[in-house]
Amino acid sequence: MVKRNVFLSVLFIAMLFVAFLMLVPFVWMLSASFKNNMEIFESPINWIPAVFRPDNYRKVWIEINFISFFLNSLKLAISITAAQLITCSLAAYSFSKLRFPGRDKIFVAYLATMMIPWHAIMIPQFIVVKTLGLYNSHWSLILIQAFSAFGVFMLRQNMLSIPDSLHEAARIDGCGSLRIYTSVILPLCKTGLATLTVLTFNGIWNDYMGPMLYLDSDNLKTAQLALASFKRQYSADYGAIMAGTICSIIPIVLVYVFAQRYIVEGVAFAGVKG
């Protein structure tokens, strides 16, 4: 028993150390964002700045007009998430509750497309988008990401757990399939919808290469693009870079605080089936 307690204490201390390693870059970043260049690299580090200087944030929000990049990211994340929720849930409903010839074969084929890596097809996809005249518009990113085999798969698993008898009962009551979908199926797979929402939002918010390929005008660019080019332009202005980084992760922190359960569930699900 004593041996066990010693072991658990050692483990606890080790975990405290790992937690420190995981958090310290963020704490350092937060602290640096309120300092000027001299103070950032003071040794030993002053974790709590002697003077809180808001200059870096002023620079980020006013001088480089971060708000417009921020809003672009928000617009993309919200519209793509909304589009995926609709297209994925409709398809998932069809694959799980409606009967039609070839249903399961089509589903397996669609599932198999999950293994096509985006990076392998980004060149021809870029040409398609350009041919359609969508290059340098938000529509390019919205349309290419409005559909997701993973989303369909996850929501289908969720809907399979809804008893068929419920579906039949609504049908006998004379409900059309669209009506059943909106008033029976959707309310019963809220967990799946919430999980897809947070995962998609997070993924789109953090996306870097997609916007980099498809957006050219400054007024269309996203927060990640702004941060990356900001880092290049102001490479010596460390405090401002840290302030920009902090601003870019605020929405993610908020989502995590309110929806941690769904994120963790989504990751666990991805682990079961890739």
Q: By CB under 8 A, what part of segment 24-53 binds other proteins?
A: 25-26, 28-29, 32, 40-41, 43-45
Q: Residue 141, class by beta-carbon neighbours within 10 Å (0-12 exposed, 13-18 middle, 19+ buried)?
A: buried
Which DSSP string corresponds to 83-125?
HHHHHHHHHHHHHHH---TTHHHHHHHHHHGGGS-HHHHHHHH
Report the site for other proteins in 183-212 (rule: CB under 8 A).
Answer: 202, 205-206, 208-209
Residue span 139-178 as binding mask against other proteins, x where in contact by CB under 8 A, dash where not: ----xx-xx-x--x-----------------------xxx
Q: Which of 34, 66, 93, 150 binds other proteins (CB under 8 A)?
A: 93
SS3 53: coil
Q: Which of 76, 85, 91, 220 binds other proteins (CB under 8 A)?
A: 91
Residue span 230-269 as binding mask against other proteins, x where in contact by CB under 8 A, dash where not: -x------x--xx-xx--xx--x--xx---x--xx--xx-
Q: Which of 1, 2, 5, 22 binds other proteins (CB under 8 A)?
A: 22
Report the site for other proteins in 101-140 (rule: CB under 8 A).
Answer: 101, 103, 106, 110, 113, 115-129
Total chain residues near other proteins (CB under 8 A): 90
DSSP class of residue 13 equals H
Do the beta carbons of residue 76 and residue 222 sit within 8 Å? yes
Q: Which of 1, 2, 100, 172 binds other proteins (CB under 8 A)?
A: 100
For residue 49, the minimal CB distance to other proteins (Å) is 15
Q: Where does the chain have alpha helices with state H? A: 2-32, 37-40, 55-58, 66-97, 103-112, 118-131, 138-145, 149-160, 164-172, 177-180, 186-188, 190-206, 209-214, 223-233, 238-273
Cα separation of 53 and 65, whole Å? 19
Q: Which of 87, 136, 137, 157 binds other proteins (CB under 8 A)?
A: 87
